[in-house]
Amino acid sequence: MRLDRNTYGTVLLVYLGVAVALFLLFRFVNQWWIVWPVAAFLLWVAGWQTAFHMVPDRKLAGSSKLVSAVADGKVVFIGPSYEKEFLKRECTMVSIYMDFWDVHANFWPVTGTVDYSEYHPGEHFLAFKPKASEENEHTCTAIRTPEGHHVFFKQLAGGFARRIVCYAKPGMEVVAGEQCGIIKFGSRIDIYLPTDAEILVTVGELVRACETIIAKL
């Protein structure tokens, strides 16, 4: 397990903020029944933020034919959806919602070649709302497998997320289960699959990035 390389600054700022708050707390507040609970809470926040931005070591279960979960979270939607940006065809969409307590590192869903990657600025509606898929800040990536299938996915910012990191570049060779980026705070992943893909998860199911196979191509 390691800290995501794009979040060293964020975690450092959290610890600096906690350190300043603790100094002011112990320096100017004389009510110890207030000081110690608040200090414990601040230290908990610092530890939680470190864990939040960690990249866990996982067993890589995906391949060019087996689509693994891009993120930890809960499956909130499975159904038909027209992908109009790149594939321009009907697909089966699987949406995974990440809350504050999930690891927010993201991972490639399949092995293949990146054919498309695009960042879109936008709003910051709560990520579980349907309109978030089109109107929220998001990054889109399409991967072509060696067998010729395309898997398209969106990293969506949520109501509190303010930064999406995606490592995708057209022409890049990627391996299922290796890190593809991170989204800070509550957010969602929409994965667009061929309509003949065999979906292996259900709505409401909790999934783990890299390890849970969500579909078979």
Report the alpha-carbon distance of residue 6 to residue 104 in Å, rounded.
12
* 188 and 97, same domain (yes or no): yes
Per the DSSP assignment, residues forming a β-bridge with 143 are 114, 151
Count of CB atoms situated within 10 Å of the CB of 209: 29
Q: Is residue 61 part of a domain?
A: no
Report the alpha-carbon distance of residue 1 to residue 52 in Å, rounded.
12
Catalytic positions are 187
Whole-model pTM? 0.82
Q: Is residue 114 part of a domain?
A: yes
Consecutive 10-residue averages of pLDDT for the chain (217 residues):
69 83 89 90 84 80 97 95 96 91 88 96 60 72 97 82 81 96 82 98 96 97
Instruction: Write the CA distances from 89 to 55, 111, 166, 182, 184, integer angstroms.
Output: 34, 22, 24, 27, 30
Domain count, the chain: 2
- CA 115 to mean position of chain CA atoms: 20
Report the alpha-carbon distance of residue 175 to residue 201 in Å, rounded.
21
* 73 and 42, same domain (yes or no): no
Lookup result for tokens 């969500």: 214
Q: Is residue 165 part of a domain?
A: yes
Residue 49 has a pLDDT of 73
* 181 and 74, same domain (yes or no): yes
Q: Is residue 83 part of a domain?
A: yes
**Torsions phi, psi for 100 (to 5 deg):** -60, -25
Q: Is residue 48 part of a domain?
A: yes
Q: Is residue 39 part of a domain?
A: yes
* 30 and 118, same domain (yes or no): no
Residue 73 has a pLDDT of 92
Q: State the chain's maximal CA–CA distance in angstroms.
A: 68
* 151 and 93, same domain (yes or no): yes
Q: Is residue 60 part of a domain?
A: no
* 49 and 142, same domain (yes or no): no
Structure token digits, residue 163: 């930064």
**Kind of pairing between the strands at 105-107 and 138-144:** unpaired
CATH of the domain at 88: 2.70.70
Instruction: Write the CA distances from 32 to 37, 38, 40, integer angstroms.
Output: 9, 10, 12
DSSP, collapsed to helix, strand or coil, labels residue 38 as helix
* 30 and 93, same domain (yes or no): no
Structure token digits, residue 113: 């070649």
* 146 and 47, same domain (yes or no): no
* 31 and 127, same domain (yes or no): no
* 40 and 82, same domain (yes or no): no
Structure token digits, residue 83: 């992908």
Are 78 and 202 spatial neighbours (Cβ–Cβ below 8 Å)? yes
* 103 and 185, same domain (yes or no): yes
Residue 157 has a pLDDT of 80
DSSP, collapsed to helix, strand or coil, labels residue 151 as strand
* 50 and 101, same domain (yes or no): no
Residue 135 has a pLDDT of 63
Are 214 and 201 spatial neighbours (Cβ–Cβ below 8 Å)? yes
Q: Is residue 104 part of a domain?
A: yes
Residue 55 has a pLDDT of 79
Domain that holds residue 147: 66-216
